Amino acid sequence: MSATLPRTAPKERSGQAARHGNYIDGEWVPAASGKTFENRNPADRNDLVGVFADSGPEDVEKAVAAAREAFKRWRAVPAPKRGEILYRAAEIMVRRKEEFSRDMTREMGKVLAETRGDVQECIDMTYYMAGEGRRQFGQTTPSELANKFQMSVRMPVGVAGLITPWNFPMAIPSWKMTPALILGNTVVVKPATDTPLSVVNLINALQEAGLPRGVVNMVTGGGTAVGAPLMNHEHVGIVSFTGSTTVGRIVSEACAPKFKHCHLEMGGKNIIMVMDDAKLDLAVDGAVWGGFGTTGQRCTAASRVAVHKAVYKEFMDRFVERTKSLKVGNGLADDVQMGPCVNESQRATVEKYVGIAKSEGAKLMTGGNRLASGDHERGFFHEPTIFGDCSAQMRIAQEEVFGPVVSVIPVGSLEEAIEVGNSVEYGLSASIYTQDINKAFTAMREMYTGIFYVNAPTIGAETHLPFGGTKNTGNGHREASVAALDVFSEWKSIYIDYSGHLQRAQIDTGE
């Protein structure tokens, strides 16, 4: 029998970082191999955030077995009672919001204002899905036959395998976990190795709220050792994945042979379109926030800006000036406006694309360098970077960088801006800045994206509308809102004939 850690995951004690095991069947347990990995602050590599279980297929097997067993009981709990547990978890997170936000900034780097928003989104999603415990509406319709009643109801899928990213390490797990739970599914979650502590904090809130053992399980470790056996497991009924399009394709292929449910939320190359009648200060605010919020490490980041030639120079002057003024540093400092890249690999990717942009002839307007001295020497910092005079065909304007790099493309008309916007393989988010309602509605109709904004940047989704994209961004499903219920449930149509004799639909309907 494996050793167990304390039932509630420990926090720091005596100046030492806490050790965290996997959460399986209501207990914190070490990895079967005994191996661990360190989680360090990307703004200060001397800051050890925690030590986590470096797991493998054996741990996944135990977690899935626990989830399967718990499913028998959890699906029978009335949905309103499941909702009450989620509501209590949200209340706990409200009380611990600042603690969880600081943990998140330490482990993934974004500034405190943003991590507070991340935790708040988790809270909002948990409250929202708690309410679905008393809704989950189906349909009742008249039958074409006398003395017959019909309705539809939702059924849970079973064990949900959740593979979550590091950039929104509480919000995105909540997008997946809470709809799965309210419907009666059980969960095995694999958090990103860069941000496991935030998922630990979410699970602790659920545990404290009274979630029964085995209903939620967590296994930490790498994609090959944990993610692959989870998505290939025969008893996992649905896999929900957020990450790159390349890995998403692998997930889809793994799910296809058994026709298991598969939900994918992948890349983006989002555009802000600035028209000649736009309020430029507002548009610059949006471009700075959309391009450099979360250090550009969002699938919805505004990594492209198409600006009408009539206002191009004025916009660019203001955009560059604002960007140069951004303070980059440790996100725990109140005056810092942009944090580090999440790890050295991500910073290297940013540097690679800076080199590609220069080789393609894009004009470097500001930034372009790593920050590695003084206050930045112990972190993975990179300057916020703008390239101007870009063409829509440049790789810097086509491929997802996932870092603080924005390409600015001059355009001559709304029609050209829309053409540029739709020219990439992704279709997540787009926005337009204009005072002309006709232009706004035209762009709203013509942009083939899952999300669209008017006079706002490409980031800022709320939990009560569907979230997701088209083309290589996703596979047709949506997260958040009631749309998430469709991901984690099956419809059952029910017919009740109380006529006392055989009635044949479409046949015994009379003339």
Max Cα distance, the chain (Å): 87
- Say whether both 142 and 237 belong to one domain: yes
C-alpha–C-alpha distance, residues 387 and 357, integer Å: 8
Same domain, 121 and 230: yes
* Statement: residue 390 has pLDDT above 50: yes
pLDDT value at 15 more than 80: no
**Considering the chain, what is the average pLDDT of its residues?**
96
Residue 500 lies in a domain: no
Q: Considering the entire predicted model, what is its pTM?
A: 0.95
Q: How many CB atoms lie within 10 A of CB 263?
A: 27
Q: How confident is the model at residue 13 (pLDDT cuts 50, 70, 90)?
A: very low
C-alpha 193/C-alpha 26 separation (Å) is 21
265: annotated active-site residue:
yes
Q: Active-site residue among 107, 265, 351, 400?
A: 265
Q: Are residues 189 and 108 in the same domain?
A: yes
Dihedral (Cα; 221, 224, 227, 229), 10-degree rounding: -120
Residue 1 has pLDDT above 50, yes or no: no
Residues 268-289, mean pLDDT to the nearest whole number: 98
139-189 pLDDT per residue, tens: 999 999 999 999 999 999 999 999 999 999 999 999 999 999 999 999 999
* pLDDT in the model for residue 10: 52
In a domain, 325, yes or no: yes
Residue 68, CB half-sphere, CA atoms under 13 Å: how many?
Answer: 11
Token pair of 22, please? 């996997």
307 and 391 in a single domain? The answer is: yes
Considering the domain architecture, whether residues 327 and 244 belong to the same structural domain is answered as no
Tell me if 154 sits within 8 A of 485, measured CB to CB.
yes
Query: Choosing from 122, 255, 262, 299, which is the catalytic residue?
Result: 299
Asked if residue 338 and residue 397 are part of one domain, the reply reads yes
d(Cα 317, Cα 121) in Å, to the nearest integer? 34
Q: What pLDDT, on the 0 to 100 scale, is given for residue 12?
A: 43
Report the pLDDT averaged over residues 386-395: 98
- The enclosing domain of 313 has a CATH number of 3.40.309.10
Residue 72 forms part of a structural domain: yes
Same domain, 105 and 223: yes
Neighbours of 121 (CB within 10 A): 20
Q: Tens digits of per-residue pLDDT, 446-462?
A: 999 999 999 999 999 99
Whole-number pLDDT of residue 218: 98
pLDDT band at 9 (very low <50, low <70, confident <90, very high): low
122 flagged as catalytic: no
Looking up tokens 């810097």 gives 396
pLDDT of residue 217: 98
Residue 414 domain boundaries: 271-454
Number of domains in the chain: 2
- pLDDT above 90 (res 511): no
Tens-digit pLDDT profile for residues 472-500: 999 999 999 999 999 999 999 999 999 99
Q: Is the pLDDT of residue 6 over 90?
A: no
- In-domain check, residue 216: yes
In this structure, are 132 and 155 located in the same domain?
Answer: yes
Distance, in Å, from the CA atom of 337 to the CA atom of 339, rounded to the nearest integer, reads 7
7: pLDDT strictly greater than 60: no
d(CA 196, CA 199): 5
Judgement on whether residues 348 and 231 belong to the same structural domain of the protein: no
